[in-house]
Amino acid sequence: MCGAATTTRTGKPPSSREPDMEHDCLIRLEGLNLNASIGIYPHELAARQPLEIDLQLTIDGALAARSDDIHHTVDYDQIVQCLENLLASRHFNLLEHLSQTMLDTLGACFPVKRATVTLSKPLAVPKARRVSVTRVGEWRNAVVAQFPRTSLPFPGADGFTMRDLAL
Protein backbone atom coordinates (compact mmCIF):
# COMPACT_ATOMS: atom_id res chain seq x y z
CA MET A 1 0.00 0.00 0.00
CA CYS A 2 1.36 3.40 -0.94
CA GLY A 3 1.94 5.61 2.06
CA ALA A 4 2.79 2.91 4.58
CA ALA A 5 6.22 3.30 6.13
CA THR A 6 8.25 0.18 5.45
CA THR A 7 11.74 -1.18 5.30
CA THR A 8 13.96 -0.27 2.37
CA ARG A 9 14.35 -2.17 -0.90
CA THR A 10 17.23 -4.10 0.67
CA GLY A 11 15.05 -5.23 3.55
CA LYS A 12 17.07 -3.20 6.05
CA PRO A 13 15.26 -0.96 8.51
CA PRO A 14 14.96 2.70 7.42
CA SER A 15 17.64 3.86 9.85
CA SER A 16 20.26 1.79 8.03
CA ARG A 17 19.30 3.01 4.55
CA GLU A 18 22.20 4.26 2.49
CA PRO A 19 21.37 7.28 0.34
CA ASP A 20 21.50 6.84 -3.43
CA MET A 21 23.92 9.67 -4.17
CA GLU A 22 23.23 9.50 -7.90
CA HIS A 23 19.45 9.86 -7.62
CA ASP A 24 18.40 11.05 -4.16
CA CYS A 25 17.56 14.69 -3.66
CA LEU A 26 16.89 16.12 -0.19
CA ILE A 27 14.29 18.89 -0.18
CA ARG A 28 13.88 20.93 3.00
CA LEU A 29 10.86 23.06 3.77
CA GLU A 30 11.72 24.86 6.99
CA GLY A 31 9.79 27.18 9.26
CA LEU A 32 6.38 26.65 7.69
CA ASN A 33 3.93 28.46 9.98
CA LEU A 34 0.39 27.10 9.92
CA ASN A 35 -2.46 27.15 12.41
CA ALA A 36 -4.07 23.99 13.72
CA SER A 37 -6.72 22.83 16.10
CA ILE A 38 -4.53 20.76 18.39
CA GLY A 39 -4.36 19.92 22.06
CA ILE A 40 -6.23 18.32 24.91
CA TYR A 41 -6.89 21.26 27.23
CA PRO A 42 -10.11 23.33 27.08
CA HIS A 43 -8.30 26.48 25.90
CA GLU A 44 -6.67 24.43 23.09
CA LEU A 45 -10.03 23.06 21.99
CA ALA A 46 -11.48 26.58 21.75
CA ALA A 47 -9.03 28.15 19.29
CA ARG A 48 -6.54 27.26 16.59
CA GLN A 49 -2.88 27.54 17.55
CA PRO A 50 0.30 28.24 15.63
CA LEU A 51 2.50 25.33 14.60
CA GLU A 52 5.94 25.51 13.07
CA ILE A 53 6.60 22.69 10.61
CA ASP A 54 9.95 21.55 9.27
CA LEU A 55 9.98 18.94 6.51
CA GLN A 56 12.80 16.98 4.94
CA LEU A 57 11.75 15.01 1.88
CA THR A 58 13.99 12.62 -0.01
CA ILE A 59 12.92 12.09 -3.61
CA ASP A 60 14.47 10.62 -6.71
CA GLY A 61 15.67 13.90 -8.16
CA ALA A 62 17.79 12.62 -11.04
CA LEU A 63 15.21 13.29 -13.75
CA ALA A 64 14.38 16.81 -12.50
CA ALA A 65 18.08 17.63 -12.23
CA ARG A 66 18.51 16.77 -15.91
CA SER A 67 15.20 18.06 -17.30
CA ASP A 68 14.54 21.27 -15.33
CA ASP A 69 10.85 20.27 -15.46
CA ILE A 70 8.49 20.71 -12.49
CA HIS A 71 6.63 17.55 -13.52
CA HIS A 72 9.71 15.53 -12.55
CA THR A 73 9.78 16.62 -8.92
CA VAL A 74 7.42 17.61 -6.12
CA ASP A 75 5.71 20.99 -6.15
CA TYR A 76 6.38 22.82 -2.88
CA ASP A 77 3.11 24.74 -3.13
CA GLN A 78 1.18 21.47 -3.42
CA ILE A 79 2.91 20.16 -0.30
CA VAL A 80 1.86 23.26 1.63
CA GLN A 81 -1.69 23.08 0.23
CA CYS A 82 -1.96 19.42 1.20
CA LEU A 83 -0.84 20.14 4.78
CA GLU A 84 -3.17 23.15 5.04
CA ASN A 85 -6.09 20.96 3.92
CA LEU A 86 -5.15 18.31 6.45
CA LEU A 87 -4.93 20.82 9.32
CA ALA A 88 -8.27 22.37 8.33
CA SER A 89 -9.99 18.99 8.22
CA ARG A 90 -10.27 18.23 11.93
CA HIS A 91 -8.96 18.55 15.48
CA PHE A 92 -5.87 16.64 16.59
CA ASN A 93 -5.13 15.86 20.23
CA LEU A 94 -1.43 15.07 20.05
CA LEU A 95 1.60 16.27 18.08
CA GLU A 96 2.67 12.64 17.85
CA HIS A 97 -0.52 11.68 16.04
CA LEU A 98 -0.52 14.75 13.81
CA SER A 99 3.09 14.15 12.77
CA GLN A 100 2.28 10.54 11.83
CA THR A 101 -0.83 11.66 9.93
CA MET A 102 1.31 14.17 8.03
CA LEU A 103 3.80 11.44 7.15
CA ASP A 104 1.00 9.17 5.95
CA THR A 105 -0.43 11.99 3.84
CA LEU A 106 2.93 12.97 2.32
CA GLY A 107 3.72 9.35 1.49
CA ALA A 108 0.29 8.85 -0.06
CA CYS A 109 0.14 12.04 -2.10
CA PHE A 110 3.74 12.60 -3.17
CA PRO A 111 6.51 10.39 -4.58
CA VAL A 112 8.78 10.63 -1.54
CA LYS A 113 11.24 7.94 -0.53
CA ARG A 114 11.73 9.26 2.98
CA ALA A 115 10.27 12.11 5.01
CA THR A 116 11.07 13.70 8.33
CA VAL A 117 8.40 15.87 9.93
CA THR A 118 9.17 18.08 12.91
CA LEU A 119 6.22 19.85 14.51
CA SER A 120 6.84 22.63 17.01
CA LYS A 121 4.11 24.02 19.21
CA PRO A 122 5.37 27.34 20.62
CA LEU A 123 2.48 27.93 23.03
CA ALA A 124 2.42 24.45 24.62
CA VAL A 125 4.44 25.11 27.77
CA PRO A 126 4.63 28.68 29.13
CA LYS A 127 8.19 28.35 30.43
CA ALA A 128 9.54 26.73 27.26
CA ARG A 129 10.23 28.32 23.89
CA ARG A 130 8.47 25.40 22.20
CA VAL A 131 7.65 21.72 22.38
CA SER A 132 8.46 19.68 19.30
CA VAL A 133 8.01 16.16 17.98
CA THR A 134 9.94 14.57 15.11
CA ARG A 135 8.86 11.48 13.18
CA VAL A 136 10.38 9.75 10.16
CA GLY A 137 8.72 7.64 7.48
CA GLU A 138 10.06 5.73 4.52
CA TRP A 139 8.31 4.29 1.47
CA ARG A 140 9.17 1.92 -1.33
CA ASN A 141 8.34 2.48 -4.99
CA ALA A 142 8.39 6.29 -4.81
CA VAL A 143 8.70 7.25 -8.47
CA VAL A 144 8.61 10.89 -9.54
CA ALA A 145 8.57 10.45 -13.33
CA GLN A 146 5.79 12.54 -14.87
CA PHE A 147 4.08 13.14 -11.52
CA PRO A 148 1.00 15.21 -12.45
CA ARG A 149 0.45 18.66 -10.98
CA THR A 150 -3.10 18.56 -9.70
CA SER A 151 -5.08 19.41 -6.64
CA LEU A 152 -4.27 16.48 -4.46
CA PRO A 153 -6.72 15.01 -1.99
CA PHE A 154 -5.66 14.01 1.46
CA PRO A 155 -6.71 10.99 3.48
CA GLY A 156 -10.12 11.57 4.99
CA ALA A 157 -11.28 14.18 2.46
CA ASP A 158 -14.59 13.36 0.84
CA GLY A 159 -14.33 9.69 1.74
CA PHE A 160 -10.80 9.37 0.37
CA THR A 161 -8.83 6.91 2.49
CA MET A 162 -5.38 5.38 2.56
CA ARG A 163 -6.94 2.20 1.12
CA ASP A 164 -7.74 4.12 -2.06
CA LEU A 165 -4.01 4.27 -2.70
CA ALA A 166 -3.33 0.54 -2.56
CA LEU A 167 -1.20 -0.65 -5.44
Domain boundaries, the chain: 22-165
Of 29, 63, 27, 28, the closest CA to residue 143 belongs to: 63
Of 50, 29, 40, the closest CA to residue 118 belongs to: 29
Helix, coil or strand: residue 144: coil
**CATH top-level class for 22-165?**
alpha beta
Is 0.85 surpassed by the pTM of this model?
no
Instruction: Judge contact between 140 and 1, C-beta under 8 A.
Output: no
pLDDT in tens, the chain (167 residues): 233 343 333 444 444 455 566 688 999 999 999 999 999 999 899 999 999 999 999 999 888 889 999 888 999 999 999 999 999 999 999 999 999 999 999 999 999 999 999 999 998 888 888 899 999 999 876 555 444 444 445 555 544 444 443 32
